[in-house]
Amino acid sequence: MKTVFFGTHNFAATILEGIINNPLFDIQLVITQPDKPVGRKQELQKSPVKLLAEKHGLPITQPVSLKSYALHPAPEDIGHMTYDVGICAQYGLIIPEDILNAPKHGIINVHTSLLPKYRGASPIQSALINGEEETGVTLMKMDAGLDTGPILWQKALKIEPNDNYTTVEEKLAKIAILGLTEAIPDYVAGTLSTTPQDNAHASICKELTREDGRIDWSKTAQQIYNQYRGLTPWPGVWTVWNDKRLKLLQINPSNKTLQTGQVLVEGDKIYIGAGDQAIEILELQLEGKQKTSAKDFINGYKSIDKVALS
């Protein structure tokens, strides 16, 4: 199948690698976001999808917007190609309706939830933050709505208590590659029918910002731990100590009971009181400083348990 692939981030790169190695898919074009400035020096960084496409010698285009982008050049152009199907995973830009309809069989989106639950930009994070015990992958034919198109294929995944964003994403990528291999050929052949979504059961998850990582210490230890599971590595969870942002890079619930927001230093361990039980802090990073273990932080900041969190 002559295929055009839309994707940008790590999850998308894993999907692309899975279908590159599958003889069912003939990747004719990869569309990814433009290189982005990163770090203090604002050096341009290629997306994971671009790096992988370059490695395999695939044609790449990086439009700032698809609103004026023509998926099918004029017939006299050397690059003219009619695509059988499009595959989209974590692309990150709006795809206009004319491009959605350009491939013969449309564009299939790899969505990391059991639609119609968690439509939107942060389905994995939202499932973890909300303490869900199950998520999954949905293959959906894209339409003009926000993850509202008909469903081709779904498979559930049990979320383990210690799963985090990274582990769930890795598991879902493997499921998605299997799903594309199973479902797309039958769909293109006309032997797999689609199922409309039940909009009455839909829920929307928002695009995340750094502020979503701020911890409310009145929440339970499990709620805070779920926030950490969903938001690590980005945007990460944090609090304010001594008027500076304090990132909590590695935490665990504990069976200690402290007052809400109370900091306890016990040997080389740091505990912070939540709404019920305390959270143990294993690794942290103060604004403007390098990340450090709890033990080293205690040695460097003797007053950690004397300054209130906010």
Residue 264 labelled as part of a binding site: no
Q: With beta carbons less than 8 A apart as the criterion, state whether 117 and 202 touch.
A: yes
Full set of structural domains in the chain with CATH: 2-205 (3.40.50.170), 210-306 (3.10.25.10)
Q: Is the pLDDT of residue 307 over 80?
A: no
Closest Cα to residue 83, out of 32, 26, 134? Answer: 26
**Which residue's structure tokens are 């290189």?**
35
- Average the pLDDT over 4-27 and give the result: 96
Residue 310 labelled as part of a binding site: no
For the chain, what percent of residues have pLDDT higher than 70? 96
In Å, how far are 210, 215, 258, 261 from 276, measured between CA atoms?
25, 14, 8, 11
Residue 115 labelled as part of a binding site: yes
pLDDT, tens digit, for every residue of 149-168?
Answer: 999 999 999 999 999 999 99
Exposed/middle/buried for residue 306 (C-beta within 10 Å: 0-12, 13-18, 19+):
exposed
pLDDT at residue 76 in the model: 46
Q: How confident is the model at residue 186 (pLDDT cuts 50, 70, 90)?
A: very high
pLDDT at residue 80 in the model: 54
Residue 258 labelled as part of a binding site: no
Q: With beta carbons less than 8 A apart as the criterion, state whether 16 and 7 touch.
A: yes
Closest Cα to residue 236, out of 250, 218, 254, 221? Answer: 250
pLDDT, tens digit, for every residue of 202-254?
Answer: 999 999 999 999 999 999 999 999 999 999 999 999 999 989 999 999 999 99
pLDDT at residue 21 in the model: 86
- Average the pLDDT over 186-197 and give the result: 96
For the chain, what percent of residues have pLDDT higher than 90? 89
Q: How much is the pTM?
A: 0.94
Q: How far is it between the farthest Cα atoms of the chain?
A: 74
Distance separating alpha carbons of residues 45 and 93, to the nearest angstrom: 18
Q: Is the pLDDT of residue 308 over 90?
A: no
Q: Is the pLDDT of residue 74 over 80?
A: no
Q: How confident is the model at residue 108 (pLDDT cuts 50, 70, 90)?
A: very high
For residue 261, is it left (φ>0), alpha (ψ between -120 and 50) or beta? left
